[in-house]
Structure 1
């Protein structure tokens, strides 16, 4: 039913939420730490801004380790720059390693607000609430955001300023480190004196610090020599470090020039020339990638001792930062150093550079497709880059990598951005980014190019149709064709788990075969689990739970809620999530969506909607309202689960005698989409809601006019079942039966079957076919009891009440269930008396054929207790027999 494959929050990899270890050869810079301490104590926003090589990350990491308070850390990547990615990254940082109930609640609440069309500012507010409510002894009061210069989105800037303005109450201070530009973006916070900036001048090394650094490395220099180095380098920490290494490894004094060729020569001649040849060759090869694990380094270098060599580089201060999580280590080269190593390699060994980029592309293709495609392009292999995208674009769209996918597609060379297949990838990326018109335009261009040259790959074309199709027939054709491709046995580029998942989502929207939908999503979950895709497993299970609910298998959905909760407990935080743009480390999918298991998050509120839908058919009106209102609040889209929630809330309102509730419900229906989107005929749902409200208000004519739009429609089985209820009460039994006949065999799921059987039983009773009516009602009970479906039996309708009472006397295999039905929760009253809850419950059993002993067994009480309550009921109602008590109950209910 959901029309989008929305990207939502994923937990950031541990190495992005862990402060890097300071270099072993780097002395603590007390002056810089003191400056940071002073700034943090004064203002809620501290900017640490300087060009590359000024040691921003190292200085902040060393400062964080000396603080008595916990300091949260987030290293930004391109995937964090949009508002949802930024808030998700901050959530990851603030709750890193925190498995407390409060942190779990914060994760669920924040991620629930990060779906499409939601306002990330509200998620930021929830983060602040979480911080404010935490124990002050464990409170994370400072958050360092490294590489913050990557943020350019105005909405992301607004979030940072929002956290700055309101974070004080929660005890939050932001420290943003990056290159220039942030001071201009965050102008409002700076204008009100709520920020302080530490710049290149503050971070530049003074002569005494240079001398201290040399002393720390075991190589003393004079004050004059330190001053000379300071003058030549202007205190640029990376230049100082390079000169100190060169001075004491090569015995030379080399001054740095500002031009890149000279710096490249400096890096290769002085730095790499100062280490043994095998280590220099290792560095040149492994700096092919900015971030590496030992395994990736082994592939690039061909050396089995890569882990040892990486550790040696880190210990020697060779521009390598290590991120550690237990036994896992990921290393990141300093950007400037790695870039000049690559320049030198391409200059001196161009063929080797191409080979290494090809190896990187191959090794990273499965887990880091954007990074891998970049290496393929650097190797001059655009066809390889396209092949990588062809295998991974669907996963990127599903996993919040749509923006990086779009950027990669438009930067492909040689006309590739206008290739029909690439155009479709771009269209799906734009659709996930909330730009349907742009997506439609690109899809149309792809179609035109395809018709001209027939170059579009069918797999991509069909998958794009599953995402972009807005008409039911188009979506059905794409789903059928995808099933044929899967079953054909031909090699497909997209991993099988993702194919099954996206096909299952399409079948959910089509609503034509709930059993097949559940089979596909269960298979997707199993395939994902077998492939180690822990978060795709969870996402598939969550959508499977919805499919089970919509397919009428409420008990199975209950069990799935427990399975999802167990999966989250077992896997969340155990694996390293996979960012769309960062290689290295252990590989697993990122968190696709997050929420509290059982009443969560996800994809326009799919899990909350499933909960509300279950409550609706189980007759829990309060629970229905809570769940559906939460869906609506968190998702303002007109074409999502919120639309159906609005319609069912209207049905709920129509079952009350409150005109104000009808008015409110009618107002919310205006937000339901006015036309069909993504295979869902929204106008029909809206007409149903308007019809039930009109009938509740006594406007029979308007109700019937609205329901006329459903005539002949087999694609909205739930609407037909609910419409049949209105038709019967409006005195149109033939039209009611006609609506029920449109519910095809594949859609006769439990709750629709129960509703249809109750409606047809009432029609037969009105025609004096009492045997037929009781047979239908008993069959309805047969279907209702296993799933706990109660709503069709709870309408405050005299005809229904009479039939239920008669059925109790007629005899039923479900007398306990019948007895538990109470359409008047206020109870039955006589002048000056009120029955207790237990007395009302026992009175319900009195209308069945159960004996006192059998009632006692049903209620797990003694026979004497039943008889005591029975006597109290007789006394309060002024009767002397069971038959008179039941008769008075009938009369009171009818009144």
Structure 2
């Protein structure tokens, strides 16, 4: 029996409000969401499920699909779709009562209990109603779900408190699901500690679901992919696009993929923008200017002075605007959904034809001073404002290039019209960026065409120095000397330049001088650039200055100092929050790797060189990539699976561009490496070709002749090699590199050892080790051949004085088969003496008599030798000792 009051309220409730709607259009099965909704049916801990998302996220469709599925599984479902009338508590309770009556159909006890209820807001009668409602809900059974749609309509009204009251009184056997666009109900519902959530992130379509939506349409995968990327899984956009395909031929729109811009605009206007208040609309419009927005930027772009509060509220209620990060200054950044940003830009144009341009200009100016100069440049280019582009690049171009954004600057400039980037400073900044990216021809072409039109004296002064900087970078790329270059102004005038430009000029000079081996001038310039960079806190220039100093030390064959500066560069880069240039990091790792290699630390060398190859590959700089690849090949050549291909690639392209004009020590090191590669695979002609080409770089002086002697020795022409080497050893004049001195004395030691003159061999090896120790180029000692050199080192071990440690390290490189706990040199003097005797045909007894030892003592020493060499017989011990150069 239904009371008159209850009957009237139920009768007045439209049937559509309490009937599960039938979804229209194609349905995409979403089992992951169905399962999430169903978990609350049998869970005593969470009997509420809140679906919180803005319009267009498919809340109603999802609930309708789930309700149909739940009813098929025997769940009692009550559906209540709320509207503005439900803000009246009487209407709200009447709608809920009507929904429960429909759900209770067939359950006589529940129907009678619900029918006896009288809805009233009088305090005593309302309490009686709520008590009766609780009893009736218990009668519906253990698998009952009450579903509310659009509960955000209750916010800030009298019915909101009634809805919360319902949540508090509902028994645990009843599962309540409600959908809302607002976060207000969310916070109140949390007080019950019985709520689970599905947010917009959960409701967004996955890529697979988007493909399933269009599977029956004649749309290629690329079209769906582009639409999905633009919509970022937003169900409304995908559904609108699908509807548009059904009405048309499925052609793509340039900006929105499959979406009809007009349909999207109308939807966003009706479902999103119209719901915003005046302040929220103003704030949201500022978010349409930039992909990312923060409160101070929104204040600068728009008219509000309190955007922070509005942004927080909007991000909490509307996933069209999301909080993404907080920077080191404590500024909170928000991101606008890309399709909604297009809509907002159209709304700005509707306000005023010039509004978009004016707001974008203000945003660019804010970013120049307070934000990201790269974004400022993008914004200036977006509105095709050449004057603004000129301002942005003049004020921020130095930082953009020095911090490793040259490639991005070039990409942005390439998408703009030539007129927009034709300003005198814009052109030079783009030329500088091109030079920084290794695009020599593009930089040189820009320099040839640029003119300082319309500049006053002060501007011309800065422009001349900027032009000089670009010319320095071009000279660096070409390996040319910079003696003939000039800014036209005295060096003393550099004090009047902006600090960023002054540091860049000193750095450019230093790097160019380093490239051609002018060490003293290079160090002076690089120290100056580093000092200025430290004063202004420019970590990128500090990093590159340290890289340049490391390169000067490599050119001067001071490997320990090279390593020190390279590691310093990496340490500075580590403090720069990832903004250091990949090019600087590639060079720093390469220099550190090569220094470690020469200092015999192969594990560290490999680690740094692999990192160098990774950073070089990111920048796509062919010269840097090639140089790092060759350095890595030099260290790992013996273990390369295809030595021939590596050797052919290296020798056929030698000398590579990075060697042209380089210091002699760098050329000599590369030459020796190439000769070794060619000889290892038996291609003597390739070695001879390398020597022939080396004449053009280092001439036929001391360094060239040492390399030639090394080639002759390695190909079995010892007599010819010695005839060339001997006069070089006593030559007091002529330029030479320390590397050649190390190699020539090591080769002389090998000659003397093979001639049986142990004293001279030892003396020559002492000279080689001494020079290696002075420079840190320890690996160069074994350049004449590992086995031959190790034989000399082993014979003189413990007699090299302070260089014994280096000899031990060099010997250790050739004894990988030794037991790890037995360091080279563990053979005692008696064991070493006995090892030489084992090579003879004498018996143990004869050896014992000659050494004045007992036979048992000799046998004890022999067992020690076998253990340390990892062998088990006299013959094996002799063979292993010969292989290691110990006899």
Name the TM-score, length of structure 1 as normaliser: 0.51
Over 3 Å counting, the alpha-carbon distance change for 1:783 and 1:373 in structure 2 is same
**Alpha-carbon separation, structure 1, partners of 2:463 and 2:800:** 63
Q: Shift in Å at residue 666 of structure 1?
A: 2.6
Please state how far the C-alpha of 1:784 moved relative to its aligned partner: 2.0
In 1, Cα distance between the equivalents of 2:820 and 2:326? 60
* Paired position in structure 2 for 1:323: 324
The answer to whether the aligner puts 1:335 opposite 2:310 as a matched pair is: no
Other-structure match for 1:488: 494
**1:186 has 2:222 as partner:** yes
Question: How far does the alpha carbon of each residue in 1:64-97 deviate from its partner, in whole angstroms, 9 at most, with x for none?
Answer: xx9xxxxxxxxxxxxxxxxxxxxxxxxxxxxxxx
Distance 2:659 2:686 in 1: 29
Is the Cα contact below 8 Å between 2:782 and 2:789 reproduced in 1?
A: yes
- Please report how far the alpha carbon of residue 890 of structure 1 lies from its aligned counterpart in structure 2 after TM superposition: 8.3
Q: 2:376 aligns with which of 372, 376, 379?
A: 372
How many residues align? The count is 629
Q: 2:693 aligns with which of 685, 709, 723?
A: 709
- 2:594 aligned residue (613, 616, 619): 613
Matches of 1:57 and 1:743, distance apart in 2: 81
Task: Select which of 647, 668, 692 maps to 1:666.
Answer: 647
SS of the aligned residue for 1:711 comes to helix
Hey, what's the Cα distance between the residues in 2 that align with 1:691 and 1:771? 27
Q: 1:685 to 1:719 in 2, by over 3 A?
A: farther
Provide the rounded CA distance (Å) in 2 between the counterparts of 1:303 and 1:233.
Answer: 28
Asked if 1:407 is matched to 2:384, the reply is no
Match of residue 773 from structure 2:
784
| Structure 1: stretches of 5+ with no match in the other structure | 1-29, 43-54, 67-141, 149-162, 165-171, 207-230, 246-270, 573-588, 594-601, 829-833, 850-867, 879-884
Distance 1:241 1:394 in 2: 42
Give the CA deviation at 1:364: 1.7
Shift of 1:385: 2.2
Q: CA deviation at 1:329?
A: 0.9
**SS where residue 822 of structure 1 aligns?**
helix
In the alignment, structure 1 residue 893 sits paired with structure 2 residue 885: yes
Matches within 5 A, 1:12-91: 38=30
Question: Is 1:458 equivalent to 2:494 in the alignment?
Answer: no
Of structures 1 and 2, the one scoring higher in RCO (CA 8 A, sep 6+) is 1
Following superposition, the deviation at residue 281 of structure 1 comes to: 7.8
Q: CA deviation at 1:726?
A: 1.6
Structure 2 unaligned regions, length at least 5? 1-21, 35-51, 64-198, 244-261, 834-855, 867-876
Contact persistence 2:57–2:200 (CA under 8 A) = no
Aligned to 1:646, what secondary structure does the other structure show?
Answer: helix
1:383 matches 2:387: yes
- The structure 2 residue matched to 1:243, chosen from 274, 293, 297, is 274
Change (3 A) 1:318 1:843: closer
Secondary structure at 1:365's aligned position in 2? Answer: helix
- Residues 338 and 728 of structure 1, relative CA distance in 2, 3 Å threshold: same
Q: Quick check: 1:200 aligned with 2:237?
A: yes
Alpha-carbon shift at residue 590 of structure 1 (Å):
3.8
- Looking at structure 1, the residues matched to 266 and 783 of structure 2 have their Cα atoms a distance apart, in angstroms, of 79
1:794-833 aligned at under 5 Å gives the runs 796=785, 800=789, 804=793, 812-822=801-811, 825-826=814-815
Q: 1:300 to 1:58 in 2, by over 3 A?
A: same
**Alignment match, 1:254:** none
* Residues 406, 182 of structure 1: alpha-carbon distance in 2 compared, 3 angstrom cutoff: farther
Deviation, structure 1 residue 308: 4.0
Shift of 1:464: 3.2
Paired with 2:282 and 2:448, the residues of 1 have a C-alpha distance of 49
Cα RMSD for the two superposed structures: 6.8
Larger Rg: 2
Look up the match of 1:842: 826
| Contact 1:525–1:537 (Cα < 8 Å) also in 2 | yes
- Give the SS at the match of 1:489: helix
**Structure 1 residue 713 displacement after superposition:** 3.2
* Cα distance in 2 for residues equivalent to 1:670 and 1:519: 35
CA distance in 2, matches of 1:631, 1:190: 35
Tell me the equivalent position of 1:862. Answer: none
Question: For residues 456-499 of structure 1, what are the alpha-carbon distances to aligned partners after superposition, in whole Å with 9 as ceiling and x for unaligned?
Answer: 93344334334444765536458987998698323148455655
Q: Is the CA contact (8 Å cut-off) linking 2:794 and 2:811 kept in structure 1? A: no
Q: Are 1:466 and 1:503, in contact at CA under 8 Å, matched by a contact in 2? A: yes
Partners of 1:36 and 1:533 in 2: CA distance: 54
Question: Following TM superposition, by how much is the alpha carbon of 1:392 offset from its aligned partner in structure 2, in angstroms?
Answer: 3.6
Check conservation: 1:282, 1:301, Cα contact below 8 A: yes
Within a 5 Å distance, the mapping from 1:640-679 to structure 2 comes to 640-643=624-627, 645-646=629-630, 649=633, 663-669=644-650, 672=653, 676=657, 679=660
**TM-aligned CA deviation for residue 648 of structure 1:** 7.7
Question: Of 361, 366, 371, which residue of structure 2 is paired with 1:363?
Answer: 366
Matches of 1:482 and 1:719 in 2, distance apart? 39
In structure 2, the partner of 1:94 is none
Deviation of the 1:411 alpha carbon: 3.0
Q: How does 1:149-188 map to 2 (within 5 A)?
A: 186=222
Judge conservation of contact 1:500–1:523 (CA < 8 Å) in 2: yes
User: Measured at CA, do residues 291 and 826 of structure 1 come closer, stay the same or move farther in structure 2, by a change above 3 Å?
Assistant: closer
Structure-1 separation of matches of 2:421 and 2:444: 13
SS of residue in 2 equivalent to 1:838: coil
Distance change (3 Å), C-alpha of 1:473 and 1:615: closer
Query: CA–CA distance in 1 between the matches of 2:564 and 2:58?
Result: 45
- Cα deviation digits, residues 252-285 of structure 1 (max 9, x gap): xxxxxxxxxxxxxxxxxxx64xx5xxx9888888
What does 1:386-465 align with in structure 2 at a 5 Å threshold? 386-393=390-397, 395-397=399-401, 399-400=404-405, 402-408=407-413, 411=416, 415=419, 417-418=421-422, 422-423=426-427, 425-426=429-430, 436=439, 440=441, 443-444=444-445, 446-448=447-449, 457-465=463-471
Conserved 8 A contact 1:393-1:425: yes
CA contact (8 A) 2:404 2:581 kept: yes
Provide TM-score, normalisation by structure 2.
0.52
